[in-house]
A = this chain, B = another copy of it.
Amino acid sequence: MSAKKYVYDFEEGNAKMKFILGGKGSNLAEMTKLGFPVPPGYTISTEACNIYSKTGKLPEGLEKEAKEHQNKLEKKIKKQLGDTNDPLLLSVRSGAAFSMPGMMDTVLNLGLNDVTIEGLIRQTENDRFAYDAYRRFLMMFSDIVLKVDKNKFERELREMKKKRGVKQDTELTAEDLKVLVNIYKEIVKEETGEEFPKDPEDQLKKAISAVFESWNNSRAKTYRKEYKISDDLGTAVNIQAMVFGNKGNDSATGVAFTRDPGTGENKIFGEYLTNAQGEDVVAGVRTPKTLVELKEEMPGVYNELIEAMKKLEKHYRDMQDVEFTIEQGKLYMLQTRTGKRTAAAALKIAVDMVKEGLITEEIAIKRIDPSQLDQLLHPRIDPKAELDVLATGLPASPGAASGEVVFDADTAEEEGKAGKKVILVRWETTPDDIHGVIAAQGVLTVHGGMTSHAAVVARGMGKPCVAGCEALKLDMEKQLFEVNGTTIKAGDIISIDGSLGRVILGEAPLIPPSVSIDFQTILKWADKYRKLGVRANADTPEDAKKAREFGAEGIGLCRTEHMFFGDERLPLVQQMILSETNEEREKVLEKLLPHQRRDFEGIFEAMSGLPVTIRLLDPPLHEFLPNFTDLRVELTEMKLKGANKDEIMAKERLLHKVRAETETNPMLGLRGCRLGIIYPGIYRMQVKAIMEAASNVKKKGFKPVVEIMIPLVSHLNELVIMRKEVEKTVESVLADCGTNISYKVGTMIELPRAALTADEIAEFADFFSFGTNDLTQTTFGFSRDDAEAKFLAKYLEDKVLPVNPFEVLDQKGVGKLIKIACKLARKTKSDIKLGICGEHGGEPSSIDFCHKNGFTYVSCSPFRVPLARLAAAQAAIDVEGDTTK
């Protein structure tokens, strides 16, 4: 006897055993326990599957153990597998811990052969039914176990209906089906070179192995990847006595939800087919009827079903999705599981169930998938619309938009000002394109990943973006792109779907975003439970206002570099960079100051009373300069075309300067506080602008809460020097303004060295903000600008990496550094304020990590603030006994 138990009768299990019995098996056991009409059966555990996956063989002792349970089943139902007089037929179905609908395999009517069918006919006196079951069995078994192409069988079925001049399967006679059965057996013989297996025990064993194998079929793998389900959970196999919905017009099969999965309305929602078996409903061979009709057709059964569903929902305390079969007027429950639902429905059901006293607020909060909420906060393409999808890129910023194609930022701005809707299409965007992004409805890029410039900026602005759409063959000179045979010219209309990465020809119908009352209710509850603060990354007064509307409790990251763009400013910034002397530079900085001050005033007003963390200039300066290659080309053209000598000389000087600023790896170059140390005037001007702005708005009655953040510190001394500089400037400004404004000076922890020496750095920082984008870049050695398109996509596809570390915080590597930093920092300053302002600040599992490590707040795009509030609450709530999740 095997030491390990692999097989469980339905009577032995319960809903809590889903990791052993799978979702289907554990719920069948639970329903059995609760006395629902479940046909008897047993489940082979996921552990057996895992052994099968590893060894390619069923575990030792399993067959014997299964046989014992099979014997019990036969005793219970008083039928035997292979009995020539009254054969037991079985349903063999897969079922993993997490629902993977339609992704795995099922064999029904197992146990039939040319002998047992005679017994079945004798017992049921229904030869049509028997042959219908036989032809179904032959096809499913051949498809799933023998790997014979299903289409070969379906073609024959269609042929037969055509020959008989009928439309529905149900219109075929027993004789027709009998002919089909013979044809099917011929197909199997032809395709496999062997006879269809006759021995029911052999059939069963093969079916079990096939279900285990289906765990690793490509559909299942793709699904798991998409839904981040671990590969080593395995599937269970449920072996159950068949009940028949195809025994005539008093028989039926169907599926139903206890509430409307689209809207969440508290109303049974379901469909069924008379005289059919389960797969017919899914396959859509006939149009199913709604449950309203069942009420009329079989009112007794209908009431029984409604009663059962109510009981099930109450028991599971969540919306249920059930499968049922009616065999000659008798109801059987074949499955129950937590029903999938839209984001809107999820919110409504959660709120309603709290009101109904079915669940607590905590459970309601835990029930909502935060990443699903994203779709509610952006316009989206009507899911019912028929679309001409040209290509699919990366879903870089959610939402959808339509507009005329433009190929450069200036045109985008012009057309935008003229009131046109445009989609900006670029190889990739740079900060130079920012005015174009502002003017456009959405952005489409050929290169760049989920965290490319275009993606980050678009997400920050809440605009849709499809990035890295490499299928586009862009020709900038001709102002067009080709994609899979279609040519799109400037001015042509396309739509982009940033939630799914789709590029669509023409104008797609959009659905506006809806922030429902239910959503508000859930967020209000979430705020009660969460411990983490939620701030927003916002660089403009508009973003700040939006963030506050969405419930942000301050700004965690105000990037100042975006303020360096714009018609009036960029020329000044360029002049500043190209200054030959310090005095020249200081003069230009003086001219930039009023612009910066005005930006900060707007932001402080919008965030009055809440902290605003302003990061001093961070990016390498050459981002503000013209492109080196373009300049070289221009110069070449000027020379060949015999341009004016002075103009050539001026261009050459510019080229020289730009070359001097150009870096091989700008991400690791002269940026962040390195700029502050090399060109101290820039930070001095910024700090002056910040404090003058704070002073001005304070005089107007607002409450500015100033936090100045030094970026890219790698060594303590950088912060020491910068902090001293900042304090000197602040004090001089406050003395001039005659106001008193308290402020904090902190730093980004975004380089491994800063994390590793956080104890030293903490001494000079009032707060830390983990810049997990950059920290991920340097910890992995991945360039955000390059990785996604060049290798990361392939890495994710091949599972070299389990998830994209720019989306989901890598807890093993980057997270370890963060933990080290937190520990070291607290050793120096036990109450140091710790925040996160990378993309991860809006990602649920990363928010959970921040909660567990005692962070003060997370900061994310304004549009992700609601999501972060919810995720923070979920991290704080430890719900026991909610077995359905």
Q: What residues of chain A have their CB less than 8 Å away from a CB belonging to chain B? A: 628-629, 632-633, 636-637, 640-641, 663-670, 674, 677-678, 712, 714-715, 717-718, 721, 750-753, 756-757, 774, 777-783, 785-787, 790-791, 794-795, 798-801, 810, 812-814, 816-817
Contacts of A790 in B (CB 8 A): 663, 669-670, 674, 678
Contacts of A663 in B (CB 8 A): 783, 785-786, 790
CA distance A812 to B787 in the complex (A): 29
B786 lies within 8 A of A781 (CB) = no
Q: Say how far A749's CB is from chain B's closest CB, in angstroms.
A: 12
Which B residue's beta carbon lies closest to that of A750?
B781
Contacts of A810 in B (CB 8 A): 753
A-B contact pairs, 25 of them (CB 8 A): A632-B632, A633-B633, A633-B636, A636-B636, A637-B640, A640-B640, A663-B786, A664-B666, A664-B667, A664-B785, A665-B665, A667-B668, A668-B781, A669-B790, A670-B790, A678-B794, A712-B781, A715-B813, A717-B799, A717-B800, A753-B781, A756-B812, A756-B813, A757-B816, A774-B781
Contacts of A637 in B (CB 8 A): 636, 640
CA distance A783 to B674 in the complex (A): 13
Which B residue's beta carbon lies closest to that of A675?
B791
A800 lies within 8 A of B641 (CB) = no
B779 lies within 8 A of A751 (CB) = yes
Which B residue's beta carbon lies closest to that of A813?
B753
With A752-B779, A753-B781 already in contact, 18 other A-B pairs whose C-beta atoms are closer than 8 Å: A628-B629, A629-B629, A632-B632, A637-B640, A665-B668, A668-B782, A668-B783, A669-B790, A670-B786, A677-B795, A677-B798, A712-B781, A715-B801, A715-B813, A717-B801, A756-B816, A756-B817, A778-B778
B800 lies within 8 A of A779 (CB) = no
Main secondary structure of the interface of A (DSSP, over half): helix
Given A632-B629, A665-B667, A668-B777, CB of A782 within 8 Å of CB of B813: no
CA distance A670 to B792 in the complex (A): 9
Contacts of A801 in B (CB 8 A): 715, 717
Which B residue's beta carbon lies closest to that of A634?
B636
A751 lies within 8 A of B812 (CB) = no
Q: Which 8 A-B pairs have the closest CB atoms?
A: A668-B783, A753-B813, A665-B783, A664-B785, A670-B790, A669-B786, A663-B786, A752-B752
CA distance A750 to B810 in the complex (A): 18
Which B residue's beta carbon lies closest to that of A812?
B757
Given A715-B801, A753-B779, A813-B752, CB of A669 within 8 Å of CB of B794: no
Which B residue's beta carbon lies closest to that of A778?
B778
CA distance A790 to B668 in the complex (A): 11
Given A640-B637, A778-B779, A779-B778, CB of A814 within 8 Å of CB of B753: yes
How many copies of this kind of chain does the complex include? 2
Which B residue's beta carbon lies closest to that of A776?
B753
Most buried by B among A665, A666, A712, A787: A665
CA distance A795 to B720 in the complex (A): 13
**Partner pick for A664 among B750, B783, B813, CB 8 A cutoff:** B783
Q: Say how far A657's CB is from chain B's closest CB, in angstroms.
A: 13
Q: Say how far A823's CB is from chain B's closest CB, in angstroms.
A: 13
A751 lies within 8 A of B781 (CB) = yes
Q: Say how far A637's CB is from chain B's closest CB, in angstroms.
A: 6
Most buried by B among A640, A753, A786: A753
Q: Say how far A397's CB is from chain B's closest CB, in angstroms.
A: 20
Q: Say how far A644's CB is from chain B's closest CB, in angstroms.
A: 17
Which B residue's beta carbon lies closest to that of A452?
B664
B665 lies within 8 A of A666 (CB) = yes
Contacts of A677 in B (CB 8 A): 791, 794-795, 798, 800
**Partner pick for A669 among B750, B753, B783, CB 8 A cutoff:** B783
Contacts of A668 in B (CB 8 A): 665, 667-668, 777-778, 781-783, 786-787
CA distance A718 to B781 in the complex (A): 13
B674 lies within 8 A of A791 (CB) = yes
CA distance A474 to B417 in the complex (A): 46
B783 lies within 8 A of A781 (CB) = no
Contacts of A633 in B (CB 8 A): 632-633, 636
Contacts of A774 in B (CB 8 A): 781
Contacts of A791 in B (CB 8 A): 670, 674, 677-678
Contacts of A629 in B (CB 8 A): 628-629, 632
Given A678-B791, A757-B813, A778-B781, CB of A664 within 8 Å of CB of B712: no
Q: Say how far A26's CB is from chain B's closest CB, in angstroms.
A: 32
Which B residue's beta carbon lies closest to that of A801?
B715
Contacts of A669 in B (CB 8 A): 783, 786-787, 790
Which B residue's beta carbon lies closest to that of A674?
B791
Contacts of A756 in B (CB 8 A): 779, 812-813, 816-817
CA distance A204 to B782 in the complex (A): 63
Contacts of A813 in B (CB 8 A): 714-715, 752-753, 756-757
CA distance A585 to B669 in the complex (A): 35
Which B residue's beta carbon lies closest to that of A629?
B629
Contacts of A814 in B (CB 8 A): 753
A800 lies within 8 A of B752 (CB) = no
B717 lies within 8 A of A665 (CB) = no
Q: Say how far A278's CB is from chain B's closest CB, in angstroms.
A: 40
CA distance A812 to B715 in the complex (A): 10
Which B residue's beta carbon lies closest to that of A790?
B670
Contacts of A786 in B (CB 8 A): 663-666, 668-670
Q: Say how far A678's CB is from chain B's closest CB, in angstroms.
A: 5
Contacts of A812 in B (CB 8 A): 756-757
CA distance A684 to B795 in the complex (A): 19
Which B residue's beta carbon lies closest to that of A473?
B656
Most buried by B among A636, A668, A721, A781: A781
Contacts of A641 in B (CB 8 A): 640
CA distance A721 to B800 in the complex (A): 8
Contacts of A715 in B (CB 8 A): 780, 800-801, 813
Contacts of A636 in B (CB 8 A): 633, 636-637, 640
Contacts of A816 in B (CB 8 A): 756-757
Which B residue's beta carbon lies closest to that of A447?
B660
Most buried by B among A715, A721, A810: A715
Contacts of A664 in B (CB 8 A): 666-667, 783, 785-786
CA distance A666 to B668 in the complex (A): 11
CA distance A531 to B794 in the complex (A): 44
CA distance A629 to B627 in the complex (A): 10
CA distance A607 to B677 in the complex (A): 48
CA distance A677 to B800 in the complex (A): 9
Which B residue's beta carbon lies closest to that of A717?
B800
CA distance A523 to B551 in the complex (A): 70
CA distance A670 to B813 in the complex (A): 20
Contacts of A752 in B (CB 8 A): 752, 778-779, 781, 813, 817
B718 lies within 8 A of A800 (CB) = yes
Given A636-B637, A668-B668, CB of A780 within 8 Å of CB of B751: yes
CA distance A635 to B687 in the complex (A): 46
Which B residue's beta carbon lies closest to that of A672?
B781
CA distance A817 to B783 in the complex (A): 21
Contacts of A785 in B (CB 8 A): 663-665
CA distance A788 to B144 in the complex (A): 64
Q: Say how far A487's CB is from chain B's closest CB, in angstroms.
A: 18
